[in-house]
């Protein structure tokens, strides 16, 4: 199972395109993405957490 992408790419209400309004830095490296639908004008907020998959994605351990 792939990690579900938390970032909305289309409006859940009208499937319209979302335009980025602003990105707010949150706690723990998370980001709050504020997006506005160009179709219905609805505001959608997404919490984008820091990419923790980076550690498990790379199989090789770095050894100096
Ligand atoms: Zn919409």
* Mean pLDDT on 11-33: 92
* Mean pLDDT on 22-33: 91
Residue 62 CA to ligand 1 center (angstroms) comes to 45
Residues with CB under 5 A from ligand 1 (ion): 11, 13-14, 16, 37, 39-40, 42
Residue 43 CA to ligand 1 center (angstroms) comes to 8
44 and 18 in contact (C-beta within 8 Å)? yes
Sheet of strand 18-25: strand arrangement: 18-25, 31-37, 43-48
DSSP structure string for 12-53: TTT--BEEEEEEEE-GGG-EEEEEEETTT--EEEEEE----H
Averaged confidence pLDDT in the chain? 80
Residue 17 CA to ligand 1 center (angstroms) comes to 7
Tokens for 39, please give them. Answer: 């179709």
pLDDT at 9: 84
d(C-alpha 10, C-alpha 42), whole Å: 11
């Amino acid at each position: 199972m792939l990690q579900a992408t938390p970032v909305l790419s289309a409006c859940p209400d009208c499937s319209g395109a979302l335009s980025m309004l602003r990105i707010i830095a949150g706690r723990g490296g998370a980001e709050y993405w504020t997006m506005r639908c160009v179709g219905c004008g609805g505001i959608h907020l997404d919490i984008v957490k820091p990419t923790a998959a980076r550690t498990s994605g790379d199989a090789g351990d770095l050894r100096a």
